[in-house]
Structure 1
Amino acid sequence: MKSKSVFIIIFIIAVLVLVKILFLSPKTENKPTQKGGGAKPPSSVLVYIANKENIDNKIFATGTLQANEKIELRPEISGKLVAIYFKEGTRVQKGALLAKIYDSDLQAQLKRLVYQKKLAKEKSDRLKSLLDIQGVSVQEYDEGITQIKLVDADIEYVKAQIAKTEIHAPFSGLIGLRQVSQGAYVTPSSVIATIQETNRLKIDFPLPEKNINYVKLGDKVQFKLDNADTYYTAVIYAMEPKVDEQTRDFQIRAICETNSPTILPGSFARVSINPSKEQTAIMIPTEAIIPELKGKKVFVVKEGIATSTPVTTGFRNDRKIEVIEGLTVGDTIVVTGIMSLRPNDKVSIKEVLNN
């Protein structure tokens, strides 16, 4: 009985040893080659030789349309608005009479002054006849002449006041909505309506200071509105002579000649510019760029070794991206297999893509 128990114990121990050997022992056949047992083979990669290319670098911006001329029509003096001669939303010509303020009192003053001038003139004529026969002194005659001049000055003043009771269109344009009614008492702070020159529109838009050398006066720009797919043309005619210290942008103003009723001041415009100055830049395939937490990098091959190089990028199109800093013409850039590469890995060049 005792020998039987010993046999069972030995059998169990043998089974446990066999399980450990077969299933629990570490496998050695897949271990990486130890140092000195063989080096990692070079990675086979495709590369691109950095060089400068002409780029079609359109500049895009957003801007706002503005009327070439725009003012609020306000009276110069206070008074009762006795007449309105315009219809809302219609076009008026420069100089057209748009509104009239009560001026009967001023007209009465003018009439009175005209009579005073007539009397002063008759008196001056009599004094002149008497002066010829030495019936009056030269001083008395001069006083008569001075009286005429004083009345003339008063007449000019009253006429100027009467002119202020009339509101004329300062330029040809489109009248907006009327803000007051006939019969209302208005003051110089009262807005009667607005008038805008809409057949010539200005477009104001900002550009980054890095583009300051690529635009000039006279350049044409294209723009479109969100409410239409039509592109319109405008011409740059003015630029702000300084860069904004906060945004680092400079302001540009272009003018568009148009009679389209769909283009209205205040509209949002998407602007595109073809730079007048041809641009060249180092362009590399976009797949060569590796994003990092602090920027971007590429792998540059030098003597068969992949070196990690930080870069600053700029303009990009559907296939390539501009490298502003970090590369020089002639650098060999790894394009494929970059995610498995580590700095200072050996590489073998399989193909140069731009040869």
Structure 2
Amino acid sequence: MTRAAMLIAVLGVFIAMTVIVAVRSLGDASPAQRGPGEQALPVSAYVVGEHTFADIVEALGTARANETVTVTARVSDTLSRVAFDSGQSVEAGDILVELTDTEEAADLNEARATLREARRELDRVEDLIERGIAPRQRLDEASAAVERASARVSSIEAQLADRIIRAPFSGVVGLREVSVGSLVRPGDPIVTLDDTSIIKLDFSVPERFLSTLDPGMSIAAATSAYPDAVFSGEIAQISSRIDPVTRTVTVRAEIDNTDRRLRPGQLMTVEVRRDERASPAIPGAAITRYLDDSFVFVIEGEEGSARVRQQPVQLGRQNGDLIEVTDGLMAGDRIVGEGVHRVRSGMPVRIAETRGAISSGGSSRAQPLAAATSNP
């Protein structure tokens, strides 16, 4: 009897505990389980907006001038004039330096005098021939003398032109390497000249990305000199060869540089943007996952009678907390933005706050398609 009494007592305690747990569970039941009188759960709503996404290939590149040349002399002599300052902008045809031309100037005066005398002699011979006094042969000899004198004048003028060094194109000169009186020889550097109105950005990417690159694709570049600036451009050319050692292909992009902020030789990070598209985007906190499927809770109905519905979605690229939605949502849809673990499909909700924007056209940079970093 004692043993039976103990079993009865234990069973009674177990039943009492079960009743207590059941009562508490009913008291703590979620609003979706309370029937017609259920209470709406406050949630934070997010209005889906469209953002621009793109697949991105990243690389390192080196900035180069659109045109660049090291100005040198064609003859040996001393400088008589330097017509530029370091860093000055010049136009095509502007004089940069002049070499001493005293001897050539004297030779030119002599040659011009000889030419004038030859022409006077030709005029006299023509007059004599018209009067029938001189033979025709004299006219040929006088004409040849004029041609020889004219050719000598042209030759000396060309020599003088070689002593005036002009800018071959418009651009910015570098640091001056010479002074008046300096002796220069052919090949000696006088100054560098760069056309930086357009910057050519050369960078290398692995050959596996060759099929994804085409001339005309947009790029975005940045440099540590201007950490808050983004320089936009587009691919101009792709090399016809792949480096057999590094297995990379060189790509050249062009960036407008009318403000002259970029300079040749700068190291820049490059992002090649491909397949740019405007897609709905949502925060990562709004997504729930089960196995390989992703879901969001769409808010339906007006304030006071709103309920949530579980909606499967297909996701694309990600940028920080914004994730591209390729299927399942449209711009303007309202979803539960935070606290999705507290709601169930069909549950009534009360919107406590609303974030996001309905209007499209926002910009968002997608996660890189791949990092293709290489040495410049």
Same fold? TM cut 0.5: yes
What is residue 240 of structure 1 aligned with on the other side?
239
Change (3 A) 1:118 1:261: closer
Contact preservation (8 Å) 2:60, 2:268: yes
How many Å separate the matches in 2 of 1:62 and 1:261?
Answer: 21
Secondary structure of the 1:217 match is coil
Contact preservation (8 Å) 2:129, 2:136: yes
What is residue 109 of structure 1 aligned with on the other side?
107
What whole-Å deviation, never above 9, does each CA across 1:221-262 have from its counterpart, x for those lacking one? 000002222111112111211222222211111111123454
Runs of 4+ in 1 over 4 A off after TM superposition: 315-319
Contact preservation (8 Å) 2:197, 2:260: no
* Aligned equivalent of 2:71, options 65, 70, 73: 73
- Segments of 5+ residues of structure 1 without an aligned counterpart are 1-54, 279-284, 289-314, 320-355
Pairing of 1:25-64 with structure 2 (within 5 A): 57-64=55-62
Change (3 A) 1:176 1:56: closer
- Segments of 5+ residues of structure 2 without an aligned counterpart are 1-52, 278-288, 293-316, 322-376
Cα deviation for residue 58 of structure 1 reads: 1.2
Contact preservation (8 Å) 1:62, 1:205: yes
Higher normalized contact order (CA 8 Å, seq sep 6+, divided by chain length) = 2
Cα deviation for residue 179 of structure 1 reads: 0.7
Contact preservation (8 Å) 1:65, 1:202: yes
Pairing of 1:173-252 with structure 2 (within 5 A): 173-229=171-227, 230-252=229-251
Secondary structure of the 1:259 match is coil
Change (3 A) 1:277 1:224: closer
Secondary structure of the 1:141 match is helix
| RMSD of equivalent CA atoms | 2.5
> Relative to total residues, which structure has the larger strand share, 1 or 2?
2
What is residue 120 of structure 2 aligned with on the other side?
122
Amino acid at match of 2:146: I
What is residue 85 of structure 1 aligned with on the other side?
83
How many Å separate the matches in 2 of 1:232 and 1:56?
Answer: 17
How many Å separate the matches in 2 of 1:277 and 1:241?
Answer: 26
Amino acid at match of 1:110: L
Aligned residue-pair number: 232
State which structure, 1 or 2, has the greater radius of gyration over its C-alpha atoms: 1
Bigger drift between 167-176 and 253-262 goes to 253-262
What is residue 92 of structure 2 aligned with on the other side?
94
Cα deviation for residue 133 of structure 1 reads: 2.8
**TM-score, normalization by structure 2:** 0.58
Contact preservation (8 Å) 1:91, 1:174: yes
What is residue 338 of structure 2 aligned with on the other side?
none
Cα deviation for residue 142 of structure 1 reads: 0.3
What whole-Å deviation, never above 9, does each CA across 1:36-78 have from its counterpart, x for those lacking one? xxxxxxxxxxxxxxxxxxx953101110001111111111111
What is residue 144 of structure 1 aligned with on the other side?
142
Pairing of 1:150-161 with structure 2 (within 5 A): 150-161=148-159
What is residue 262 of structure 2 aligned with on the other side?
263
**TM-score, normalization by structure 1:** 0.61
